[in-house]
């Protein structure tokens, strides 16, 4: 497996399958790489902790950086190359200019209308779109794999590519299912912030989603999720059932919907989601 630090070395990998990450890789990322490796195209994993998608009071400086272990995981999962760009390869005009550009990024509706991550983390999706667009420009993938765990992010990137016209050719975004621990906790780089005794508390998010699955109506699902999260000691940012495409409130019971949660413990904010059964 090649390690690439210089964007100039990416030319022979154009047409690759891209797996963008911020590092701190776990088995969820490994499953993205394995999925990307299906077919005959080389898989390129990118590792870049993108400052423009973090708010001023968020965890950019303490975000786990585990490059040596990441390289081993990426290689074992089948990556042909790992691109670890220095900041100036992504933001050649410097970070201040990048932050200004991110704040003005023309966002697709699913990044502004749902009032989910967009409301809880203002500015976040500007930074995500900016860095993902830059990685697509540099790597020119034919496919890119993203996990369903960050479901609104996945929808934002799908819409960005849809609205991008020819910019990235026939680029296809592939949805990859959330990978869970045996007890149901969704794998996340931020799970490293959980202390041993908080580990069981964190399961409240999965339990809340299971409660939602057993409900007969979206409104009941939302009540059950909120109660379960509060019983586990979470501060709830949102616990909602939404249309799975627009992520706006559900209007009828015909379209596929998704339960989505963001909830906070003192040391970590967890997000998770699940496809809901069709209610009739």
Which of the residues 74 through 133 are near ligand PAF (CB under 6 A)?
Answer: 128, 131-132
Cβ atoms of 10 and 37 within 8 Å: the answer is no
Is 29 designated active site?
yes
How many angstroms separate the Cα of 131 from the Cα of each of 50, 196, 243?
A: 7, 34, 27
Q: Of 14, 26, 29, 124, which is the active-site residue?
A: 29
Q: Which residues pair with 44 in a beta bridge?
A: 18, 81
Which of the residues 165 through 194 are near ligand PAF (CB under 6 A)?
Answer: none
Q: How many residues bind ligand PAF (CB under 6 A)?
A: 10
Per rule CB under 6 A, is residue 18 in the interface with ligand PAF? no
Name the one range near ligand PAF by CB under 6 A: 18-26, 161-169, 190-198, 210-218: 18-26
How many angstroms separate the Cα of 272 from the Cα of each of 135, 153, 177, 258, 260?
A: 25, 12, 12, 10, 6
Please report how the helices 204-214 and 218-231 are oriented relative to each other, as an axis angle in degrees rounded to 10. Answer: 160
In angstroms, give the least distance from the CB of 47 to ligand PAF. 9
Q: By C-alpha distance, which of 59, 65, 61, 31 is closest to 45?
A: 31
Per rule CB under 6 A, is residue 20 in the interface with ligand PAF? yes
Per rule CB under 6 A, is residue 273 in the interface with ligand PAF? no
Per rule CB under 6 A, is residue 21 in the interface with ligand PAF? yes
Place of tokens 């045996």: 182
Per rule CB under 6 A, is residue 50 in the interface with ligand PAF? yes
Task: Note the residues at the interface with ligand PAF (CB under 6 A).
Answer: 20-22, 50, 53, 128, 131-132, 150, 153
Active-site positions?
A: 29
């Amino acid at each position: 497996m090649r390690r690439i630090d210089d964007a100039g070395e990416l030319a022979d990998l154009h047409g690759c399958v891209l797996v963008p990450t911020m590092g701190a890789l776990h088995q969820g990322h490994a499953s993205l790489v394995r999925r990307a490796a299906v077919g005959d195209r080389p898989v390129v994993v990118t590792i870049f902790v993108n400052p423009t998608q973090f708010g001023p009071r968020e965890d950019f400086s303490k975000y786990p950086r585990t490059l040596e272990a990441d390289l081993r995981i990426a290689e074992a999962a089948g990556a042909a190359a790992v691109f670890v760009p220095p900041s100036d390869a992504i933001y050649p005009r410097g970070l201040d200019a990048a932050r200004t550009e991110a704040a003005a990024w023309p966002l697709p509706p699913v990044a502004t209308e749902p009032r989910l991550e967009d409301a809880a983390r203002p500015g976040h999706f500007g930074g995500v779109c900016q860095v993902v667009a830059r990685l697509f420009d540099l790597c020119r993938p034919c496919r890119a794999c993203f996990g369903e765990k960050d479901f609104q992010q996945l929808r934002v990137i799908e819409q960005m590519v849809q609205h991008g016209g020819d910019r990235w050719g026939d680029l296809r975004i592939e949805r990859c299912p959330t990978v869970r621990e045996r007890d149901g906790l969704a794998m996340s780089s931020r799970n490293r912030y959980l202390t041993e005794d908080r580990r069981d508390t964190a399961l409240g998010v999965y339990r809340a989603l299971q409660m939602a699955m057993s409900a007969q109506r979206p409104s009941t699902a939302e009540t059950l999720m909120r109660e379960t999260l509060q019983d586990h000691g979470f501060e709830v940012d949102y616990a909602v059932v939404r249309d799975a495409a627009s992520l706006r409130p559900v209007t009828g019971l015909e379209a596929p919907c998704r339960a989505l949660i963001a909830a906070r413990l003192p040391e970590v904010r967890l997000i998770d989601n699940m496809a809901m059964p069709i209610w009739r």
